[in-house]
Chain A
Amino acid sequence: MSELVSRIHIQCRVNGEPRHAETFPMARLLDVLREELRLTGTKEGCGEGECGACSILLNGAIVNSCLIPAIEADGADIRTIEGIASGDQLNAVQKAFLECGGAQCGICTPGMVIAATALLERHPHPNDAEIREGLAGNLCRCTGYQKIFAAVVRACELSTEKKPVSR
């Protein structure tokens, strides 16, 4: 058996709350979230950064949490699917996914919601090409993507409806 390294202590903010964990420096952030912090909404689909099921927002940017070593979470600000809705209030993307049928089996959905949320933060009114590019890192085997595209378009409308006319 190989020589062991010691666990490290990491502290970060997850969905606005300070959290900490003891783990190995090279442990995947995905495993820290799911197993140490019991935030199981973030899913593992491939473990190689290909499917996007483990997407989270790390310091505001979308990343695959299966490719982030735990040590890099130290001091970071993390948002997972559990932090997307405010309490019982779904965000526009979540509402639109429900309305448009963007979720089928649901396993890619947390990552897809994160990706769509990140996309709308970059492009509040994305065109078709931007939607496709923005979601190309999240694989869905159920929907053929059409209803997900529709949900993103719908989410833009819902966000616009909500906003005050002037500011």
Chain B
Amino acid sequence: MRAYVPAYDLRAPSSLSEVLALLAREPGTWQLMAGGTDLMVLLEAGKLSHKRFLSVAKLDDLRGIEAAREFVIVGAMTTYTEIQNHPILQSEFPLLCSAARETGSIATQNRGTLGGNIVNASPAADSPPALLVYDAEVELVSERGARWVPYHGFHTGYKKMQMAADELLRAIRLPRRAKKWLQFYRKVGTRRAQAISKVCIAGAALVENGAISDIRIALGSVAPVVMRAVKTETSLRGVSITPTVIEAARGTLAQEIAPIDDIRSTARYRLRVAQNLLQEFLSQLTK
């Protein structure tokens, strides 16, 4: 343990109003801790610069999955284990379940939460590409009230979010789609289990009369934030998949992602594999 632990405050209020009051009274003083699977690693390494934390572990209203007519609402403190085992998520939002299943180990899945994953804002996170593909929205609450914001655009830069210092992410909602979208998720990690992604892609497309009528493509680990490949999506709407279209889409994708070299992989690898995965996704649409 590299950190000077006696300097770290961690409190676990038992009500949401208590948490929101503390956040409102001293904005910026308190940071929230969910499952702790990322923050505790930083603490251990002596790299956790913030010192005062509020655990939301005791807030039961942040847990659970609720299926309404138009949306499925997932509480921010819902764990990966709960997500992957939920029947409605399994049938309608399989990419999210795949992502949950490929996040860390079972021990991590028992602790890690969807809300924590979003707010931790890692560009290599596994679930956010799925959330982008599903047009997810996130609910932010504070003493000032609650608001739903689209998840697309929520992350504005590396570890930057459209969230005020007094706000807490309470839930994520996923619109239920009437039509049958074809879906694709693939995480390329450093090994088959317990891996941080080197490239991750989630895709969904609505194919009608042999042409793509709508499409979502989202990627992790290829930019400072988990991103939607909007230009690539635009270029594919209304077209039928041919080898030429795929080749062009590979080129468009290369222009809108910005992968880097780091200790896990290289920019060249990430670019090439992102293109290959896009190709694999698009090729499956023709089947």
Listed in ascending order, the chain A residues whose CB lies under 8 Å from chain B are: 1-5, 24-28, 31, 47-50, 52, 55, 61-64, 66-69, 71-72, 74, 115, 118, 132-134, 136-138
Contacts and interface: CB of A to CB of B under 8 A. Distances in A.
B284 interface: no
A72 B73 CA distance: 26
Interface stretch (B1-9, B62-70, B153-161, B176-184): B1-9
Contacts of B7: 2-5
Contact of A5 (B9, B40, B43, B110): B9
Contact of B44 (A5, A48, A52, A72): A48
A31 B1 contact: yes
Contacts, number: 105
B164 interface: no
Band of interface residues on B = 20 to 34
Give the secondary structure class of B's interface: mixed
Given A26-B53, A48-B44, A49-B41, A136 B107 contact: no
Interface of B: 1, 3-12, 33, 36-37, 40-41, 43-45, 51, 53, 55, 57, 81, 104-108, 110-111, 192-194
Contacts of B55: 69, 71-72
A71 B10 CA distance: 8
Given A24-B5, A72-B55, A61 B81 contact: yes
Contacts of B107: 49, 52, 55, 62-64, 115, 137
A49 B40 contact: yes
A136 to B, nearest CB: 3
Contact of A4 (B6, B53, B105): B6
16 contacts: A2-B6, A2-B7, A5-B8, A5-B9, A25-B9, A26-B43, A26-B53, A47-B44, A62-B106, A68-B111, A69-B36, A72-B12, A118-B106, A134-B106, A136-B106, A136-B193
